[in-house]
Structure 1
Amino acid sequence: SRFNIIVRLVHCVFTFRVRVTSYRTTPRITSLMHRGFMFATACRWSRTSCRRTFASALSYVKGSTTTALLECTIGAQFDRTCREHPNVTALVADEEGVRMTYAAAGERVDRVARALHWLGLRHGDRFGVWLPNTTDYYTVQFATAKLGVIMVNINPAYRKDELAFALNLVECKALFLTPALKTSDYVELMGRLVPNLSSHQAPLSPNHPGLHAESVPSLKYILHDDGRRAIPGMISFAELVAKVDLERPTINYEQPNDANECINIQFTSGTTGRPKAAALTHRNILNNGMLVGDRCGYSAGTDRILCPVPLYHCFGVVMCNLAAIVHACTVVYPSKTFDPERVVDVVEKEQCTSLFIRILQSKRFAVERMRSLRTGIMAGAPCPMDVMQRVMKFAPDITIAYGMTETSPVSFQTTSDDGINERVETVGRIQPWTEAKIVDVEDPEKVVPIGQPGELLVKGYLVMKGGPNGRRCIGARQLTWCVLAQGTGSKQKRLGKRSQMGGCIQATCARSTSADTAVWSGEAKTWWIIRGGENIYPREIEEVLFTHEAVANVAVVGVPCQVFGEQVAAWVSLKPGFDPASTEEQIRMFLKGKVAHFKMPQFYIFRDDFPVTITGKIQKYVMKEIAIKDLRLK
């Protein structure tokens, strides 16, 4: 631009003047020119906010643009991989005994897409998936992508109120569930959510008006994955696919061709107790899967990605499934839910090369059984040095990643060339086609120097489309900057102000250590707990505990855990007349069904008094230190 040209001319004139004339002969002219140059530079920074031209020592970085981004839809990429690598194994679901090549997977996905289209699902409809890690989840992800139907990932741990909130927030038209999983009875739960469900007739007909539920007005169809029995009010998924195969084998549907359309809604707890909907496009998550796979060094037909993490999470659907189809790799589901013993068995059995979880606590863990592993990702919380040293013995190219659901999710990731210190002390290097800057908490226009903590902002293809409300994902404007991490300061006030700009996501403090790496800081960490990559908002648990008749006061903190990164610990002050020994079990039973299982406190600390400031504010960081010491966690 002309403004930049003027700035550069002023800089050149000033540099030349300094060389030919001493400050002694023309002090005033030189001083004025210097001030003018500095003013122009400052103006340029205020206009562009994060250009690196005059700020090599500031916390701003821009990723490389040498790797071309994919501009196709997920369905188009899936079809391309199926055509080009038909004999490569696409999926292994060990617990189900399923093994499919890309040719077979492509055929199965097309059958499912035809069935869903026949049922009445159309472009832009929301399809909730409330399943564990199964073959059906895999096929539905790509079938909905080919239809332009937005897949909504729903946590199997959600209870009635959480499920109702999520379904209504994004206006789901259909829900696909498993009848039961472990101790959860989802049929019974749906019966409480939709009281007339058992009397509803759900014939396999595209002309049927569908379900009418006052609690979830948008919900018309409920499908289940148990092909061995009929469930009143629900449609058998297996019967649906078989019926369409028999009666309408040549039904046609039109695939979307706009990669910037929303195709996936994922829920994130963020900084409030209610789930928030992150609306993500084909371009968002397909390219993130590609670039994550690039950092891991995946190659077609060679790498086998073990996926023990839940598919409702961005880890599963993006960093496993999408990374696999872009790189023509195999994705392996060891079990429907996480089982560390089975993970070790399947790594050895399937000769997996990439792993996405900490399995060091497995009783069957042994380095000699993990020799096939080469790479993978560890994320969700900082990795201790001793853990990293053990991991690198069997996975030397393991990477560390940082991101959020709202950014597709990964924005920083280490490479195989990084040393152990970089993998332990940082969260990696900026991803390609991504910009990041760390700004002053009180002055968001000011980019802080390298090494100084502040608020981390990320910009690029990866930022979710639209605001946190999933209903605005179609046709919504792409966000420019996404706030990933926030430092100390007037958090709540600034959080509200940022929300008006279209999207503010608080995570944790950040600071940069070099030109392209970032590290965690802990000043804001007490706002939530990160357990196994899941954000848990302590206040949500505290509000439920306060309703128990024995609880006088409560505070929830996170404590270290080698398996999940952190666990939930509850400090409880009881009312007079209640005994801690007997009350703890009562509280545990009280919480069942009210909060998801991963939010349940693992530890209880009963105290009459809590550490507080002179103004009476609870000091959670002190409580955390005491809990760690008393529980002997370090």
Structure 2
Amino acid sequence: MTLSRLNRFCVLKKLSSRLYSSSSSDSSSPLRGPSYYHHVGKEPLVYRSVGQQLELTARNYPDREGIVSVHENKRLTFSKILDQCDRLAASFKRIGLERGDRVGIWAPNYVFWYISMLAASRAGLISVGINPAFQASEVEYCINKVNLKAIVAPDVFKTTHYYDILKNICPEIGDCEPGKLSSRTAPSLKSVIINSKDKFPGAFQYEDMFNYATEDAITQIQNSQRDIQPDWPCNIQFTSGTTGHPKAAVIGHFSLVNNGIHIAQRNELNTKHHKICVQVPLFHAYGVTITILAGMPYGSTLVLPSAYFSPKDSIAAINQEKCTVIHGTPTMYVDLIKKVIDSNAILTTPEIAVTGGASCSPKLFQNIKHHLNVKKVKTVFGQTEATAVVGQSLPGETEDHVLHTVGHVTDHIEIKVIDKDGNTVPFGQPGELCIRGYLNCLGYYGDEEKTRELIGHDGWLKTGDQFILQEDGYGRIVGRLKEMVIRGGENIFPKEIEDFLNTHPDIMENHVIGVPDERMGEELCAFIRLRDGRPHLTHDDLKAFGAGKIAHFKIPRHIRIVHDFPKTVSGKIQKFKLVQQYKDSLDE
């Protein structure tokens, strides 16, 4: 390129930047810029591993409780957490695990889940969260998908016997020494660690693991932290499984630590010592990043009310431990509010409620603030493949921002919104949300083709979310691209209908899907959970309620009244199961 051409190129680039800058305040500009926003953070990113972050927290808050498990009656300070993690990390090495090996953690919310995940990071291993509700075929899939070398689990929870399921997958475990499993069905798996007072053939006892670590081995773990690179993989998250076989997203130390710091700052965990009521499962991105990693930098205390979500136990834990923050998905808040009302409970200590994992309707936001007696309701929005959070509430934002957006673009990332041809749409127009930055996952484990579909050669990650971006960096979710319903040529997004139906006084919760229709191609079907004692709802009832408020073609043609919804352990509604329920109802 000649000098004159280079100068001309620079002038054009500056002009383009002025015309299309997302931070421009000139609303009179004749050109409306493309939906692109780069939010440069006020503080630089930190180059730190998860293990180094834990060590820093233990140094800053040694005597502060890092985790309190109410249902186990266990309390650990950050200094004790670091000690247990290093002992377990040394024992992981002792039983043959090496850097980069995958360790599965298959359990509900127990302290040993938290310790095992952080110990794996201190040992340079990769922790793999496995849904505690998974059964034999699903667990076998997870083991073989990422080639687990070890798995940590309880012996039993409720009706699930974890060791028996593993023995069903790997019958050879009954005849082998611990750490020397050799199975035809799961060839990578060598060690099974069971958290139980009882001993099981072929398995290590979790509590015994802490006795395997010598002081020299612990010192080696401590000294090895400088060698564990922040760019290395740290955690594998299986996608939620709302649409079929889960994929395995690989998340790095760097993205976990930095996303956690930004989440903590936006959720105001840096303002005081907060205690967080943890209703979400630890194995999920909400649990790993938004809860564990965000709770760590400023010494927040995680409070586990129960192994699985229980509104009754949450209320008791909030009041007993004086929790100032609540974490939950929208469906969890619906159930928590119902329990508060039914039991005449009064919550006095919560200041902030954080909702994430799925979109939250404006009506539910208002109910959370009113019934849970919190000062602020904050939202986080993102996805597993983006570590956790892409956008979230800002401190001091208006109620309108809380009610009608999914938050502001988080620090140090770029986002844009594109049409079906990959072209960036103007601000205010819907399209697919794409993100680029430190928080993008490292890819899907063992699946290069799916990784290329997810992240382009230019580094943009396609989320699959239909999104509207505003010029101020706030955005709104319209729905999932795959959930869009085309009714007689009209594009309808279920979330809009769901938010509207949630304002009906008789409706507690609803979810809308598209179903086949011979005339219109697709019609809307609303699965509705009514408030206790409320009458049956009909299509005519909804037509009357929607008259003058919403277009007639957006009123669901079909209605199914249900008492509960099929959902993942993380609280996401499995709409593919609602589709099957609708089909089954036609056959009855």
Secondary structure in structure 2 of the residue aligned to 1:252: helix
Provide the rounded CA distance (Å) in 1 between the counterparts of 2:524 and 2:236. Answer: 29
1:219 maps to which of 189, 196, 206: 189
Provide the rounded CA distance (Å) in 2 between the counterparts of 1:448 and 1:76. Answer: 41
Measured against aligned partners, the alpha-carbon deviations of 1:15-42 in whole angstroms (never above 9, x if no partner) come to xxxxxxxxxxxxxxxxxxxxxx8xxx59
In the other structure, the counterpart of 1:341 is 312
* Structure 1 residue 158 displacement after superposition: 1.4
Check if 1:291 corresponds to 2:291.
no
Measured against aligned partners, the alpha-carbon deviations of 1:515-538 in whole angstroms (never above 9, x if no partner) come to 31111114735279999xxxx9x9
Task: Report the CA distance shift for 1:250/1:346 in structure 2 as closer, same or farther (over 3 A).
Answer: closer
Task: Report the CA distance shift for 1:75/1:511 in structure 2 as closer, same or farther (over 3 A).
Answer: same
Task: Report the CA distance shift for 1:303/1:407 in structure 2 as closer, same or farther (over 3 A).
Answer: same
Answer yes or no: is the 8 Å Cα contact 2:23–2:471 preserved in 1: no
Larger mean CA deviation between 392-401 and 285-294 belongs to: 392-401
Task: Report the CA distance shift for 1:521/1:124 in structure 2 as closer, same or farther (over 3 A).
Answer: same
Measured against aligned partners, the alpha-carbon deviations of 1:198-223 in whole angstroms (never above 9, x if no partner) come to 22232xxxxx6x11111111100011
Larger mean CA deviation between 303-312 and 359-368 belongs to: 359-368
Which residue identity does 2:220 align to in structure 1?
A: N
More strand, by proportion: 2
Task: Report the CA distance shift for 1:440/1:104 in structure 2 as closer, same or farther (over 3 A).
Answer: same
- For the aligned residue pairs, the C-alpha RMSD in angstroms reads 3.9
In the other structure, the counterpart of 2:392 is 413
Answer yes or no: is the 8 Å Cα contact 1:301–1:328 preserved in 2: no
Provide the rounded CA distance (Å) in 2 between the counterparts of 1:407 and 1:123. Answer: 24
Task: Provide the TM-score with structure 2 as the length reference.
Answer: 0.76
In the other structure, the counterpart of 1:365 is 340
Provide the rounded CA distance (Å) in 2 between the counterparts of 1:415 and 1:303. Answer: 18
Check if 1:423 corresponds to 2:402.
yes
Answer yes or no: is the 8 Å Cα contact 2:22–2:33 preserved in 1: no
Task: Report the CA distance shift for 1:305/1:231 in structure 2 as closer, same or farther (over 3 A).
Answer: same
* Structure 1 residue 310 displacement after superposition: 0.5
Provide the rounded CA distance (Å) in 1 between the counterparts of 2:55 and 2:524. Answer: 47
Which residue identity does 2:353 align to in structure 1?
A: G
Secondary structure in structure 1 of the residue aligned to 2:82: helix
Check if 1:519 corresponds to 2:476.
yes
Answer yes or no: is the 8 Å Cα contact 1:301–1:330 preserved in 2: no
Check if 1:116 corresponds to 2:73.
no
In the other structure, the counterpart of 1:180 is 156
Measured against aligned partners, the alpha-carbon deviations of 1:1-57 in whole angstroms (never above 9, x if no partner) come to 977742454699xxxxxxxxxxxxxxxxxxxxxxxx8xxx59x99xxx998889763
In the other structure, the counterpart of 2:445 is 469
Provide the rounded CA distance (Å) in 2 between the counterparts of 1:88 and 1:216. Answer: 41
Secondary structure in structure 2 of the residue aligned to 1:196: helix
Measured against aligned partners, the alpha-carbon deviations of 1:331-384 in whole angstroms (never above 9, x if no partner) come to 111111111110011111111111111434345416973221122321233322
Check if 1:352 corresponds to 2:326.
no
In the other structure, the counterpart of 1:458 is 435
Provide the rounded CA distance (Å) in 2 between the counterparts of 1:219 and 1:72. Answer: 30
* Structure 1 residue 275 displacement after superposition: 0.9
* Structure 1 residue 322 displacement after superposition: 0.8
Answer yes or no: is the 8 Å Cα contact 2:414–2:437 preserved in 1: yes
Task: Report the CA distance shift for 1:4/1:283 in structure 2 as closer, same or farther (over 3 A).
Answer: farther
Measured against aligned partners, the alpha-carbon deviations of 1:44-90 in whole angstroms (never above 9, x if no partner) come to 99xxx998889763211111221221211111111111112112111
Provide the rounded CA distance (Å) in 2 between the counterparts of 1:346 and 1:99. Answer: 13
Provide the rounded CA distance (Å) in 2 between the counterparts of 1:608 and 1:392. Answer: 37
In the other structure, the counterpart of 2:220 is 252
Measured against aligned partners, the alpha-carbon deviations of 1:375-431 in whole angstroms (never above 9, x if no partner) come to 232123332232211222322222112100000110011223223332222111100
In the other structure, the counterpart of 2:547 is none
Provide the rounded CA distance (Å) in 1 between the counterparts of 2:313 and 2:299. Answer: 25
1:54-203 → structure 2 map (5 Å cutoff): 57-202=33-178
Which residue identity does 2:418 align to in structure 1?
A: V
In the other structure, the counterpart of 2:551 is none
* Structure 1 residue 162 displacement after superposition: 1.5
Measured against aligned partners, the alpha-carbon deviations of 1:256-311 in whole angstroms (never above 9, x if no partner) come to 43111101000004785211011000111111111011101113761111111101
Task: Report the CA distance shift for 1:352/1:178 in structure 2 as closer, same or farther (over 3 A).
Answer: same
Task: Report the CA distance shift for 1:98/1:5 in structure 2 as closer, same or farther (over 3 A).
Answer: farther
Which residue identity does 2:73 align to in structure 1?
A: G
Answer yes or no: is the 8 Å Cα contact 2:237–2:248 preserved in 1: yes
In the other structure, the counterpart of 2:490 is none
In the other structure, the counterpart of 1:6 is 8
In the other structure, the counterpart of 1:380 is 357
Provide the rounded CA distance (Å) in 2 between the counterparts of 1:4 and 1:562. Answer: 66
Aligned residues: 500
In the other structure, the counterpart of 2:420 is 441
Which residue identity does 2:360 align to in structure 1?
A: C
Provide the rounded CA distance (Å) in 2 between the counterparts of 1:501 and 1:562. Answer: 47
1:482-631 → structure 2 map (5 Å cutoff): 506-522=463-479, 524=481, 526=483, 559=527, 604-605=581-582
Answer yes or no: is the 8 Å Cα contact 2:194–2:206 preserved in 1: yes
Answer yes or no: is the 8 Å Cα contact 2:434–2:462 preserved in 1: no
Answer yes or no: is the 8 Å Cα contact 1:270–1:507 preserved in 2: no
Check if 1:332 corresponds to 2:332.
no
Provide the rounded CA distance (Å) in 1 between the counterparts of 2:584 and 2:172. Answer: 46
Provide the rounded CA distance (Å) in 2 between the counterparts of 1:4 and 1:51. Answer: 25
Answer yes or no: is the 8 Å Cα contact 1:343–1:359 preserved in 2: no
Measured against aligned partners, the alpha-carbon deviations of 1:198-254 in whole angstroms (never above 9, x if no partner) come to 22232xxxxx6x11111111100011001x111122111111212436x97756232
Task: Report the CA distance shift for 1:119/1:251 in structure 2 as closer, same or farther (over 3 A).
Answer: farther
Secondary structure in structure 2 of the residue aligned to 1:122: coil
Secondary structure in structure 2 of the residue aligned to 1:380: coil
Which residue identity does 1:302 align to in structure 2?
A: H
Answer yes or no: is the 8 Å Cα contact 1:388–1:420 preserved in 2: no
In the other structure, the counterpart of 2:549 is none
Which residue identity does 1:509 align to in structure 2?
A: Q
Larger radius of gyration: 1
Provide the rounded CA distance (Å) in 2 between the counterparts of 1:390 and 1:248. Answer: 55
* Structure 1 residue 120 displacement after superposition: 1.3
Provide the rounded CA distance (Å) in 2 between the counterparts of 1:290 and 1:387. Answer: 27
Structure 1: runs of 5+ lacking an equivalent: 13-36, 203-207, 483-494, 540-554, 564-587, 611-634
Task: Report the CA distance shift for 1:72/1:402 in structure 2 as closer, same or farther (over 3 A).
Answer: same
Provide the rounded CA distance (Å) in 1 between the counterparts of 2:572 and 2:470. Answer: 37
Which residue identity does 2:283 align to in structure 1?
A: Y
* Structure 1 residue 561 displacement after superposition: 6.0
* Structure 1 residue 326 displacement after superposition: 1.1
* Structure 1 residue 457 displacement after superposition: 0.5
Secondary structure in structure 2 of the residue aligned to 1:187: helix
Secondary structure in structure 2 of the residue aligned to 1:87: coil
* Structure 1 residue 131 displacement after superposition: 1.2
Task: Report the CA distance shift for 1:514/1:370 in structure 2 as closer, same or farther (over 3 A).
Answer: farther
In the other structure, the counterpart of 2:198 is 229
Task: Report the CA distance shift for 1:99/1:561 in structure 2 as closer, same or farther (over 3 A).
Answer: farther
Identity of aligned residues (%): 24
In the other structure, the counterpart of 1:305 is 276
Provide the rounded CA distance (Å) in 2 between the counterparts of 1:270 and 1:276. Answer: 8
In the other structure, the counterpart of 1:397 is 376
Answer yes or no: is the 8 Å Cα contact 1:266–1:405 preserved in 2: yes
Which residue identity does 1:69 align to in structure 2?
A: L
Which residue identity does 1:225 align to in structure 2?
A: N
In the other structure, the counterpart of 1:489 is none
1:241 maps to which of 188, 206, 210: 210
Structure 2: runs of 5+ lacking an equivalent: 486-493, 499-510, 515-522, 532-563
In the other structure, the counterpart of 2:535 is none
Task: Report the CA distance shift for 1:361/1:4 in structure 2 as closer, same or farther (over 3 A).
Answer: farther
Provide the rounded CA distance (Å) in 2 between the counterparts of 1:558 and 1:239. Answer: 52
Answer yes or no: is the 8 Å Cα contact 2:63–2:79 preserved in 1: yes
1:42-61 → structure 2 map (5 Å cutoff): 57-61=33-37
In the other structure, the counterpart of 1:581 is none
